[in-house]
A and B are shown apart, each in its own frame.
Chain A
Amino acid sequence: MTQTPYDGTCGIRELLGFTITDDRITRGPAHEYSVRVDEQEYVQAAENLALHDFALAALFACEEFSGRGRYSIFSVFERKQDILILVRDVDGHAVSIAGLFPSACWYERECRDGFGITFDGAFDTRRLLLHECYPDGYHPLKKEVPNRSPEIAGDWGPEREYPFRVVNGEGVYQVPVGPVHAGIIEPGHFRFSVIGETIFNLEVRMFYKHRGIEKLAEGRLPADCLPVAEAVSGDESVANATAFCMAVEQASQIAVPGRAWYLRTILLELERIVSHLSDQAGMLVDVAFPLGANQFSVLREEIVRTSARLTGSRFMRGRIRIGGVSEDISSDTLSGLVVFLTEFRKRYRVGLKIVLSTPSVIDRFATTGIVRKSLLRPLNITGPVARASGGNSDVRVNRPYGIYDQYTPRIQPLSDGDVLARFTVKASEIMDSLDLIERLVADIPGGETCSSDAVRDGHALAVIESPRGQNLCWVRIRDGRIDRYKVRTASFCNWLAIEHAVQGNILADFPVINKSMNLSYAGTDL
């Protein structure tokens, strides 16, 4: 059991700053506390939580949840191992906390687009998910709105154009980039305000890939929802599928067999290695060092082929399922994996040495794209980006799930916060994941690989450490079907960090800064 410093319900009252009756506090299956509050209490509580160093990890709405208002808005606050969820029941108006928690801005805009909830006092009321082509007053996540295309505008006048922040001044000019970029990458729009070569301001506009993942899940049987969870972001397929399964398993009180957790963890760590390797190769391509990049991309392709041998899919899709894994992996295959990884480790070290002893690479990486530590909490930045800026957040350590309490990864944070620090943190995490996999294969127990327990109605929150950082998933099952599936990937939060990281850098360094933060467009746009 996770020990909470606020020690049960009386500590919560102290944190919130007002008295509250016991019947409004509930304890969730993952030791998180939910507190039902009204609007006035909510603002007071948010102020107190901000003072107590809590970060806002997510804010989302669910329709017809409590019967006390049309919508229930969940605000998930987090501090290390503590999770506190404030639940408000509202009818169409809610108070904004974007002034207290800057990360609330995107969440509130998302709720407004999805459900039509107005946030009083919000400083940014532009649409987020829905671009110019969607009709006004259209809110797709409302239950009464059917899941089919509304009347879509093919073209529109300048009065409908998205208003970007305008930066004026002598010598300031705008560089619009995207949504279609020059390379083989996902679409998004970057509006740079530049003075000479130097970036003065960047505004990111996302959600070009908004494909309605959350609504797509609604009404499906939980087991049929796994392809949806895997489609959140291709390179995080295992992490998002696992998070979804964890939420369903917690809501239904399904116990996952030990062997299944070992197999899941092996796949999760393999996915982390592949993701970090792609990043490192990409960063080296962006500083024009193909010799180093190719070392890593060869290793990446080999590990992807190994994953395909292990699971039948290069993205390890279709293996994670509710209650465990769909198929066992034989011990011969697993020992083959260890043999491969031993050789892999040696060659990875060689590649790393070539890169880190090349002055032109270090010159481009060092002091480029600094993410300041002071931004981590206000924007809820997580993952390797946070760990390269002096943060030590890692869900596997703070709130271990599955078997991570027995296999604790080493967090090796760096404090520089630049591209070089992110490159180095990823290198040490690859080494650490290799160690973890070896230990897991050595210790894996026999037995069942999937529980046969049935799915039951309920709701639960799951938090997981994906390669990019903290992913959060909230699932509500009603009458055996998914009623609401909320995903918040690490990229959703980390995207805002790039707006700060590029300031004062030259425009030509943007690609490498972007790559070093490894942000998923698909995982953000949903």
Chain B
Amino acid sequence: MVNALTCLIRKKVTGDSPVTDEEVEAIGRELRCSIDKVFGHSLAIRELDTGSDNATEIEINALNNPFYDVERFGISFVASPRHADVLLVTGAVTHNMALAARKTYEAMPAPRFVIAVGDDACTGGIYAGTYAVLGGADKLFPVDLKIPGNPPSPKEILAGLLALMKRAEADRNRRFF
């Protein structure tokens, strides 16, 4: 049997990360606590691009680089909407993507949360009212949180996730008492 103490005392096999960003660490720690409480240790995110200019994808992708490395906070990006708790929607919803986007949302199990990331996903941005787009993500399905920005930075996206977790935590507490 493995002694739990040895895990704590033994020297780590891996080295420390050469890059740390105190702000990110602080948001991450809080996020970790929140996710542990509400989602049972892990939060699965599915990213859905409904017509972005790819800048927002790049920033979401950056969350996985060693500076942010969000997996250590309990966040993982999953390949299927069927495994997801949260849908991160980027870009205004184009007519050409509307059907696929709707199917993706419908494939998620409840309870499900939707976050619109970036100005275009929040309101339609510069495309609002034009021929090729439906508008923001809320034209397709209910949106729980909007993170504005052109595009928002990885830190802002992380702070947005924290805000959603806090709200979910509050909702849960309200239900209990």
Contact = CB atoms under 8 A, between A and B. Distances in A.
B96 A208 contact: yes
A398 interface: no
Interface residues of B, number: 47
Q: Tell me which of A186, A227, A230, A317 has the highest count of chain B C-beta atoms within 10 A of its own C-beta.
A: A186
A152 B95 CA distance: 8
A133 B95 contact: yes
B49 A234 contact: no
Contacts, number: 141
Nearest to A299: B65
Contacts of A147: 129-131
A510 B61 CA distance: 20
B128 to A, nearest CB: 10
Given A187-B100, A209-B49, A237 B129 contact: no
B53 A184 contact: no
Given A208-B100, A232-B53, A294-B66, A216 B127 contact: yes
Given A133-B99, A208-B94, A209-B94, A185 B55 contact: no
Contacts of A149: 95, 130-131, 133-134
Contacts of B132: 140, 210-212, 215
B147 to A, nearest CB: 15
A193 to B, nearest CB: 22
A467 to B, nearest CB: 13
Given A211-B92, A216-B130, A298-B65, A186 B49 contact: yes
B164 to A, nearest CB: 18
A106 interface: no
A228 interface: yes
Interface string A176-188: 0001101111110
A85 to B, nearest CB: 28
B18 to A, nearest CB: 8
B100 A180 contact: yes
Contacts of B96: 130-131, 133, 207-210
B161 to A, nearest CB: 14
Interface in B17-51: 18-19, 47-51
B98 interface: yes
Contact of A315 (B47, B55, B66): B55
Given A140-B131, A149-B95, A298 B49 contact: no
A466 to B, nearest CB: 13
A294 B17 CA distance: 11
B150 A187 contact: no
Contacts of A231: 53, 126
A331 B95 CA distance: 47
B57 to A, nearest CB: 6
Interface in A211-268: 211-212, 215-216, 227-228, 230-235, 237
B52 A522 contact: yes
A340 B7 CA distance: 39
Interface of B: 18-19, 47-62, 65-67, 77, 79-81, 91-92, 94-101, 104, 126-127, 129-134, 150-151, 153
Q: Which 5 A-B pairs have the closest CB atoms?
A: A234-B55, A212-B132, A182-B79, A297-B65, A131-B96
27 contacts: A133-B96, A134-B95, A140-B131, A140-B132, A149-B134, A152-B98, A180-B100, A180-B101, A185-B57, A186-B52, A186-B54, A207-B96, A208-B51, A208-B96, A209-B91, A209-B94, A210-B51, A211-B133, A212-B131, A215-B132, A278-B58, A298-B18, A301-B67, A314-B59, A314-B153, A520-B54, A522-B52
Given A210-B51, A314-B59, A522-B52, 4 more contacts: A148-B129, A149-B95, A235-B58, A297-B66
